Structure 1
Amino acid sequence: MPKSFYQYLMTQRNPESYDPVATFANNAFYDSSFPKQETDFAEISKYLEENAGYLPSMTIFDDAWQLYLAALA
């Protein structure tokens, strides 16, 4: 079974970084409702659009998703 997006995102955490993906990962870590087992783009995107006030732009998610797909390859 492939690694979930959340599992990948946690590898990008860095509390000392101002990189947008790292900041997203740091904030997602504290989001207890984040869909941690999800691997579907549409489901994660919908969740973030409705619940992630800490994500200033969905472009950051899109960038993180592309990094996730590259890591799965």
Structure 2
Amino acid sequence: MRQSFYLFALKYRGGQKDDKKAKFANSMFDQHDFPKAETSFHKLSLYIEELADASMPAAVFDELWEYYVEDSKL
């Protein structure tokens, strides 16, 4: 079974303060309504666009999504 995007992105938590992926992951962790079990790009993208905190920009989500897809192929 494929790991959720949330669980994948958590590995970036606690990184350097100026690391945009770490900022995204920390903010994602703090948002209690983040869809933690989701694996669908469309559903996650809608959440990011409509409900996410400003510290979770779509460009960073897109970058993390690419890593997520690559990681899922392994």
Unaligned 5+ segments in structure 1 are none
For 2:3 and 2:63, the matched residues in 1 are separated by 17
When residues 31 and 56 of structure 1 are mapped into structure 2, their CA distance, relative to the original with a 3 A threshold, is closer
Deviations 1:18-46 (Å, cap 9, x if unpaired)?
Answer: 21111100110010000000000000000
After TM superposition, give the deviation of residue 56 of structure 1 in Å: 5.4
For 1:55 and 1:16, the matched residues in 2 are separated by 15
Q: Is the 1:5–1:36 Cα contact (8 Å) retained in structure 2?
A: yes
TM-score between the two structures when normalised by the length of structure 1: 0.90
Question: What stretches of structure 1 move > 6 A for 4+ residues in a row?
Answer: none
Identity between Structure 1 and Structure 2 (%):
36
How much is the aligned-residue C-alpha RMSD, in angstroms?
A: 1.4
Deviations 1:45-65 (Å, cap 9, x if unpaired)?
Answer: 001111112335311100010
TM-score between the two structures when normalised by the length of structure 2: 0.88
